[in-house]
Amino acid sequence: MIIKARSISKGTGSGRLLVSEAPISFLSGVDPASGIIIEEGHPLQGVCIKDTVLAFPFGKGSTVGSYIIYALRRNNVAPAALINAEAEVIIAVGAIMAGIPMIDNLEGGFSQLQTGMAATVDGDAGELRLEDPADS
Amino acid sequence: MELDRSDEEVLAGEYGETRRICMEILVALGKVYGAERLIPVSSVQVAGASYKTIGDPGLEWLQNLDARAVVPAFLNPIGMPRDDWRKMKIDEGFAEKQQEILDAYRRLGISLSCTCTPYYHQLVHYGDHLAWSESSAVSYANSVIGARTNREGGPSALASALIGKTPEFGLHIVGNRIPDLVIEVDDPDATKQWGSAEYGALGYLAGKEAGNRIPCFRAIRPNRDRLKSLGAAMAASGAVALYHVEDITPEARVPFFKKSFTLDQKETVTIPVADVNALFTEIEVNAVAVGCPHLSEDELRTLAGLLSGKKVKKEFFVFASKEMIDEHHDLVGTIEKSGASVYPDTCMVVSPATDTLGSVMTNSGKAFTYLPTMCGVLPRLGTIEECVRVATE
């Protein structure tokens, strides 16, 4: 299944979808050394985002968060790709700094995404490819 | 977004990987905010300069970039005075990292001015398009000078420095600069006696009311230094990037703006003078710090006059740009004779030296907002005269 989206950061990345219903703050919300979400009370607290296709509504918190996304990539614990419902500057800039493919504004909305689906984000074409469950 | 041919070539990587990434950042910003094109900027002010804020990830990102600024670009304050860091008791490890950040910016062609008041040393004109990031400088450029800039993040400002352009959205568009609300004080007569500290206190309260909206003040008559203090505080306690003061700030006097809105129909917030006064407390403090934002020539002269012939009994920090200090050695000499220390390049908020002080008195509404959250310090607000009295008594 191919879902049209808006391209934010170029490149292609594949992995299992990890969907967060809550926004994510990268500064003090994600450990840059391990890629584990550490924000107290976050629905994904304790979950590692390494190599996932990480989908969340939008970013929050300090603009220093862009540098943390870059640090995740340097430490090899970054997500393979990012999906936002509506991109904002901290995440968009961080994704580009780190060279992580990113899209937003999915056709049909954000709610069709489910954790565990095999997904490929194509940041050049601006689309999300979800593996058909019947094929897997 | 519509890109011209040279923009497309940069985006395709024909001018190197660094410029490609920078262009991608500007295009993404344009998409997020619905810009239709990129426009040239006449100068850039880059935040993200203190090791205390950007840390190792920021340093590493800077070190991996390879291009030079194509428009005048200057740096925000760093975490220490670059030459005199030992005097400020900065530890060696921090100083080393901070120096590496400076070296990285120098290599990128960014002027190491390290000040939050670049407008004292750079010509900035009404109507100029800028990409500035320091929130108080953004407020001053937009409101007091009538130039046009959004509040940029560190990486997006740097991208603008290396490309020379910014996406056209937000405050670059004249129609987005008209006020959203009116702010009045309940006793305008009382404001005639106000100095910068009271205007900072007003800004602290007004910023919370305004959030990220554009306020227009009525019936106050602050001078430039007081406007600086008012705007800096509103940018800290709220996210105010532009404000107007009726009959005072440049855009509020232009016929286009006067015709484009009627203040009487706007939401009006009235701030009681009593609330402003209530922010001035009498708590015991360990140190005094002034120069947030960095001092103007007039402020430096006033302070020199107040400290002349006195001795400070508490640590007294004074912050100004290196250029301002170099131009006024006589005033700086008078201030330092009292035992106060005048530091360039840094400030009370971004330097780790403030973190251990416990409680600090300041005349800045901006510092009053940030000292608790960014430095873990209990702040006390006072006028410049009270600051000197508390330090010398």
C-alpha span between B72 and B70 (Å, rounded): 7
- The pLDDT score that the predictor gives to residue A63 is 77
The mean predicted confidence, pLDDT, of chain A is 93
Q: Residue B41 corresponds to which tokens in the numbers above?
A: 């900027």
- The pLDDT score that the predictor gives to residue B53 is 85
Low pLDDT (below 50) residues in chain B:
none
Cα–Cα distances (Å) from A85 to A23, A92, A106, A109, in that order, read 10, 12, 7, 7
- B136 and B21 within one domain: yes
C-alpha span between B225 and B236 (Å, rounded): 17
Nearest CA in chain B to A102: B28
- Residue that is last in its domain, among B150, B174, B198: B174
pLDDT of A132 over the 80 cut: no
Per the residue annotation, which of A14, A20, A28, A62 is the catalytic one?
Answer: A62
C-alpha span between A121 and A16 (Å, rounded): 11
- The pLDDT score that the predictor gives to residue B43 is 98
Residue A62 catalytic? yes
Task: Please name the helix (run of DSSP H) or strand (run of DSSP E) that holds residue B86, with its range, or none.
Answer: none
- The pLDDT score that the predictor gives to residue A28 is 82
Domain tally, chain B = 3
- Residue that is last in its domain, among B112, B140, B174: B174
Nearest to B294 by CA among B343, B327, B336: B343
Q: Does residue A85 sit at the B interface (CB-CB below 8 Å)?
A: no
Q: Does residue B58 sit at the A interface (CB-CB below 8 Å)?
A: yes
- B215 and B242 within one domain: yes
- B270 and B299 within one domain: no
pLDDT of A27 over the 90 cut: no
- B374 and B321 within one domain: yes
C-alpha span between B392 and B214 (Å, rounded): 40
- Residues near B117 by Cβ (< 8 Å), separated by ≥ 6? B137, B140, B228, B293, B294, B296, B321, B324
Instruction: For tokens 């262009």, name the residue.
Output: B23
Alpha helix ranges (H) inside chain B: 5-11, 17-33, 51-63, 92-107, 135-139, 154-163, 196-210, 224-237, 255-260, 273-278, 297-307, 322-327, 329-337, 365-375, 384-392
Cβ-defined contact of B32 to A70 (cutoff 8 Å): no
Return the DSSP state at B47: -
Nearest to A93 by CA among B207, B178, B29, B200: B29
Neighbours of B219 (CB within 10 A): 13
- Give per-residue pLDDT as tens, A59-78: 887 778 899 999 999 999 99
Nearest to B200 by CA among B290, B332, B286: B290
C-alpha span between B136 and B350 (Å, rounded): 14
- The pLDDT score that the predictor gives to residue B259 is 73
- Give per-residue pLDDT as tens, B119-138: 999 899 999 999 999 999 99
- Residue that is last in its domain, among B221, B252, B278: B278
- The pLDDT score that the predictor gives to residue B388 is 98
- Give per-residue pLDDT as tens, B132-174: 999 999 999 999 999 999 999 899 999 999 999 999 999 999 9
Phi and psi at B335, nearest 5°, equal -65, -45
Q: Distance from B251 to chain A by nearest Cα, in Å?
A: 28
- Give per-residue pLDDT as tens, B48-83: 899 988 899 999 999 999 999 999 999 999 999 999
Provide ipTM, 2 decimals: 0.87
Expressed as residue numbers, the domain containing B302 is 287-392
C-alpha span between A37 and B329 (Å, rounded): 51
- Residues near B127 by Cβ (< 8 Å), separated by ≥ 6? B146, B147, B148
Q: Residue A37 corresponds to which tokens in the numbers above?
A: 């979400």
- Give per-residue pLDDT as tens, A70-103: 999 999 999 999 999 999 888 999 999 999 999 9
- B255 and B315 within one domain: no
